[in-house]
Structure 1
Amino acid sequence: MLTRALIVVLVILNLGVALWWLLRGEPASEPPASPAGVAQLEVLPATQAPTTMVASPDATPALQDVTPASAPVAQPPGPVSAPATAVADTSAPRPAASLPAPAPVAAAPAAPAVPAPVTATPAPAQCVSLGPFADRAAAQAAQSRAGAVLRGAKLREVADAGATRYRVLLPPAASREAAQATVKRIVAAGVSDYYIIAQGEDTNAIALGQYRNREGADRRLAALSAAGFKATMVASGGDGSAQWWLDATLADGTGTAVARQRSGAAQQRSLECARLR
């Protein structure tokens, strides 16, 4: 009896559980939690015009549908489904509006290269000595005839035109010792070809060379003057007559032959321009 009673109780319990299971209904499923930062969609009745999206407190500003209201559309019976309008994820970056490509800029034509002006190197100055003239007046007349052909002209007198030798001397010193001290200075300046005259009227004078033409003697005088010595030139073997010469710098583009012809000189000689300064 006890066994039967337990079986009856178990059968009743099973029937009760089965009846409760059939009558309880479908359990309401909770909607999935929306991710952070995404607006939630709220379903409104079909009679309301535009759909409004309501964002959660911690989400970004909600998107609003600005489509103008239209006439309500009849909905079929049954559960109301969410509108088919897709909601864009506000967390995704918005594509930038496409801008028109800039028009290609035409390359400006290159300016033609301008050659640099060529500066002509000036020709070195050329100096000349024109003569001989019998006196100073004749030399001045020759200078006037030459005119602009000659620049910086100077008159030069040759005391003994017929001389055959020219000696370059330093004036006699007060004593032999003084002459020797002068010789030491001459050697230190790099001057060679010298000796001390021991007798005669030029005793203790220092001879610095003997030349057959005046040009060589003049060059020696110029070198000694540059070294700081005041030498003199003594001509010998002549008749004592004097001549005049015209020393000048030739104008640019002028030849020595043209200068001689313009001045009327009988001779022309090359001249160092340093002697005209």
Structure 2
Amino acid sequence: MLLRLLFVLLIALNIAVAAWLLLGESGTHAVEVADKGVPELKLLTELPVASSVAAPSTSAAAVAPSASAPSAYAVAPVAVTPAPIATTAAKPQATVQEAPKPVAEAAAPPAPVPTSPKRSYRCLAVGPFATQVDLRTTRTALAARTVRSRQRQEQTSESHGWRVFLPAQPTRDQALAQAKRLEAKGIKDYFVVTAQGELQNSVALGLFHDPANARKRRDEVIAAGFPARMSERTETTPVWWLDVVVPDDANNDVRRAIRAPGATARPTGCF
């Protein structure tokens, strides 16, 4: 910025000097002829021939102007002095136009880093878990080898034994009369169901964990002449599953992480 300002100032100075030389004063001073004390200048051709020997001295005195008297011949050299200014000041002009710097070559793109071969994964459903505590324990144990996981809840029916009974009667009195006939046949261990539900006014003949014992009891009552029936007693309870995505080589880790009773790992759809 400073170099540009200096360059503009030098150009303005050169223009001013050129204008002064062309349009300014010519360097001569008008001198009235009637001024006293100013000798009159004459050319050599105007002098008489007889005085040509003394002409040099006279012309020398005429040509050499005095310090106090202005002369057209003495003022003329003043116009030479501005010339060096333009020559000297023009030097900074070369520094204004700097040579263009070479453009840095674009950095070469980095070489591609070799990637490891893709690993294969599988999706497994781990469970069922009777409690969420068992699910969280297994999920924590598998966290280091699990790519992603999710938990879900399902409803399942659990068997709670087998019941043997006589079908429900239309009224309670009819159910009590049927129970008395059972007792008359020597069949003990029964009771009339009074609770609301599909078994209300039925006669319960026993609840067995082993289905073989339930069948034996049913056959005994049928042999006595009663329409005994046998059915499984079930209850709907919630269970939890853990779906995981693990590498193919993580089968051993999955088996070691499953410690809940009844829980296993089986293939499932990926998510």
| Pairwise TM-score range, normalised by the shorter structure | under 0.3
Greater fraction of residues in helix: 2
Report which structure shows greater RCO (CA 8 Å, sep ≥6): 2
Normalised to the residue count of structure 1, the TM-score between the two structures is: 0.27
Normalised to the residue count of structure 2, the TM-score between the two structures is: 0.28
